[in-house]
Amino acid sequence: MTKIFRSIATYIALFIGAAGILVVLYAWNLPPFHGSVEMTNDAYVRGQVTLLSPQLAGYLVEVPVQDYQKVRKGDLVARIDDRIYTQKLEQAKATLAAAEAALANSEQSRKSGEAKIASAKAAIESTKAALQAASTAHARTESLLEKNIASQSEAEKNRAAFDQAQAAVHQAEAAALVAEQDLNTIVVSRRSLEANVESARAAVRLAEIDLQNTRIVAPQDGTLGEVTGRLGQYVSVGTQIGSVVPDRVWVVANFKETQLDGMKPGQQVTFTVDALGHQAFTGHIERFAPATGSEFSVIKADNATGNFTKVAQRIPVRIAIEPQQPFTDRLVPGMSVVASVDLAQGDAAAARTAAN
């Protein structure tokens, strides 16, 4: 009788053990219970974390925000003492005003040069008219001298007046040429002055940018991380004073390469979040990484050895979270999730999800 009970107990123990093994195989989706659902717990919520750093050096005179505070694009996070940069802007504006004044003076010089050219041309016309009169008088005197009507002294006097008129014409033409060269010099100098004005304007713009950069603002809507900037702290270019995490998040699930057969963009994904009491969410596959995760590591594994052991690699899969789901506002980058993809949904479901 005792042997019978012992046999029954043995069978019961074997049955319980076999049932436990089957439960474990079923829970881990292993043969003979391997179905169409592929699952991984190597998955995390991801987001774009933007580090905030100044582009200038100086002392922080204002830090009006706190850790984990909601901010809008353009909200002030910290401000650097701007007295030096304000004075640099005023200095640049003064330099610009001087350059513009020099350019305006050059414009007046150009107009004066054009007036001198016009005056020189008028002088040429006047001297040519005088030369014509002197030439006529000289010719008439020479004719009368041949007829012994005019005296020799009068002929010499008209000859000298003719020579003087010719010299006056040459002098007027030379003055006009000098005036034209002076105008060309003014025009060439004006180009240099115009370049000085543009350089001064650029300096003003750079000073304005530096003054604006004393205000470190949120680049987009989101939530601040830990604010490390402190009032009175001296910061240099690149000093981290905080970070902004935008509200838009997604999931990156690292599936084994043996699980990817049948996965396509657009397929629906179900995932649970550990931090939210395994709250379930839905999403869809957006795209696959162009390489395995090990290829993006700083130190890559070298498997060219004699004792090589094949290890299934993991490929990151980006999963978009469907909007208008409860508790999606509580998803933050870094949370651990468990993602599942039912490969039996087929191409039609994937195409439908992608279209939506």
Domain CATH code at residue 58? 2.40.50.100
Instruction: Say whether both 230 and 189 belong to one domain.
Output: no
In a domain, 18, yes or no: no
Indicate if 204 and 101 belong to the same structural domain: yes
Which residues of the chain have a pLDDT value below 50? Answer: 348, 350, 352, 354
Position 7 in a domain: no
User: CA separation (Å) from 342 to 32, 131, 308?
Assistant: 17, 109, 33
Q: What is the pLDDT of residue 123?
A: 64
What pLDDT does residue 215 have? 94
Query: Does residue 220 share a domain with residue 72?
Result: yes
Residues 38 and 103 in one domain: no
Query: What is the pTM assigned to this prediction?
Result: 0.64
If asked whether residues 170 and 268 sit together in one domain, one would say: no
Q: Are residues 42 and 67 in the same domain?
A: no
Helix (H, G, I), strand (E, B) or coil at 203: helix
Give the model's pLDDT for residue 10: 74
pLDDT at residue 44 in the model: 94
Split into its structural domains, the chain has a count of 3
Q: Are residues 118 and 223 in the same domain?
A: no
Q: In the prediction, which pLDDT does 210 show?
A: 94
Q: Same domain, yes or no, for 93 and 201? A: yes
Would residue 96 count as lying in a domain? yes
Look at residue 193 and give its three-state secondary structure. helix
Structural domain that includes position 221: 50-79+216-243
- Domain assignment present for residue 127? The answer is yes
Q: Hey, which residues does 250 pair with through a beta bridge?
A: 46
Query: What is the C-alpha separation between 335 and 338, in angstroms, rounded?
Result: 10
Q: Report helix, strand or coil for 35.
A: coil
Q: What is the pLDDT of residue 337?
A: 93
20 lies in a domain?
no
Same domain, 97 and 199: yes
In a domain, 101, yes or no: yes
**Continuous segment of H or E residues that includes residue 268:** strand 268-273
Question: At 273, which CATH number?
Answer: 2.40.30.170
Residue 328, domain member (yes or no)? yes
